[in-house]
Amino acid sequence: DADVTQTPRNRITKTGKRIMLECSQTKGHDRMYWYRQDPGLGLRLIYYSFDVKDINKGEISDGYSVSRQAQAKFSLSLESAIPNQTALYFCATRDVLGYTFGSGTRLTVV
């Protein structure tokens, strides 16, 4: 099993719909992150969490929310999806040695 697992791998949704992207990890790390990747823009930080009770906004948090249900689970929600949220989303964990990324969720909002 992968250290960081994201579900679903691909999703197409309609404008205005609520959608949740899920992330789970088996590394036992406290720190978890959500990034989005857009062509030509690299990866940008949406939210990050130091532990279950500590959630922080990243540079592009508008239109997103997160939930840290347990140390191992960190979900990203789009309350009302819009087309410019079409992107590749990555979850990551971190320890002192560095970051581990999931395989990504490709989200298309039509």
Partner 1 sequence: AQSVTQLDSQVPVFEEAPVELRCNYSSSVSVYLFWYVQYPNQGLQLLLKYLSGSTLVESINGFEAEFNKSQTSFHLRKPSVHISDTAEYFCAVSGVGNEKLTFGTGTRLTIIP
Q: Could you say whether residue 103 binds partner 1 (CB under 8 A)?
A: yes
Residue 84's SS3 state is helix
Q: Residues 44, 51, 69, 108: which binds partner 1 (CB under 8 A)?
A: 44
d(CA 62, CA 105): 19
Q: Could you say whether residue 47 binds partner 1 (CB under 8 A)?
A: no
Q: Which residues are CB-neighbours of 10 under 8 A, at least 6 positions away?
A: 105, 106, 107, 108
Residue 4 Cβ vs partner 1, minimum distance, rounded to whole Å: 9
The footprint of partner 1 (CB under 8 A) covers 31, 33, 35, 40-45, 48, 50, 56, 58, 90, 92, 94, 97-104
